[in-house]
Amino acid sequence: MSSGGGLRYGLAVHVISWNVNGLRALHGKGGFLPVLRELAPDVLLLQETKTHLGALPGDLQDVPGYHLRMHSAQRNGYSGVAIYCREEPDEWCVGLGDDAFDSEGRVLGARFGDRWVVSAYFPNSQAEGARLAYRLAFGEALLAWLQDRQGGGHHVVLGGDFNVAHRPIDLARPKANEKNPGYLPAEREWMTEFLASGYVDTWRRMHPELAEVYSWWSYRYAARDKNIGWRLDYLCVDEPLWPRVEETAIHTEVRGSDHCPVGIRFASGPHAKPTRASATQRQVQSKTGSGRPSASRRAGGAPQQRGGSRSPEDSGMATVATRGGR
């Protein structure tokens, strides 16, 4: 283990997070294993799996080259998180130790050396803030859990569906959604305070002014084709780990869920140094599998509203991948 990165090097250099909106459903559409093979992360964090280990088909339980661990909700077909990783971690942590949240299967962590890699699925605050208090309480409990790990001398990589667009740049229609779940003032304030407590939104830190790049689109109004989206999915690291972040990505080409995967890559090896470039992106590449313009370059259509009794996760093939330094 090295103070430069604190890993058994290579085990968690490339991390992907993806809300799959039902793992079995996505797999049934042929949309999971091909993406896993194409992106080939060292660690894949999943949210909204909506299933239990015993209910998975064999080819999802035993993916060649990966270990699987799940934390499922007590309620069938609801919530749930999972981690696929190339190597067995030094330690697993299932849940926060509070049944109010753990019964919904919202947090799963894997430790590789001195680095915790965590999959988290934040609650939707729902229409009229019906679950806002629960959502904020979850955020505070998760923050305390992360700080406890850091207090033990560990770094933190937190990936997941945060169910909040932090700033106006993070959604296509900010004014139309000011009273809607996912953009409520209290949710956005929590995110601001979370980052101020010593964490980095890696995408936004690397690309502070890059607009119209989202990770969630409603199934309605052809929102994805028009790129009327929200950036709800994040990969955050503790501030001391930030200098080792080499690359971030939002894989808008990946469909099958209403969310697309987001990714992060760390400098590998004890002496590797991340690439230094401009304060924004050094390179932005867009490509689509459908022949249409990349979703990040299109706009229009009706405002989106989010809420109701379930998480805002519903979606199809286009990549906005980014590389750069700080």
Which are the catalytic amino acids? Answer: 161
Q: How far is 112 from 160, CA to CA, in rounded Å?
A: 18
Q: Number of C-alpha atoms within 13 angstroms, CB side, residue 69?
A: 21
The angle at the Cα of 232, spanning 113 to 322, to the nearest 5 degrees, equals 70
Torsion of CA 40, 43, 49, 52, to 10 degrees: 110
Secondary structure (DSSP) of 140-195: HHHHHHHHHHHHTT-EEEEEEE-----SGGGBS-TGGGTTSTTS-HHHHHHHHHHH
Q: Which two tokens stand for residue 286?
A: 């867009």
Q: How many CB atoms lie within 10 A of CB 58?
A: 7
Compute CA 118 distance to the chain's CA centroid, rounded to the nearest angstrom: 10
Tell me which residue of 165, 55, 167, 41 sits closest to 110, measured CA to CA.
Answer: 41
Q: Is 49 helix (H, G, I), strand (E, B) or coil?
A: coil
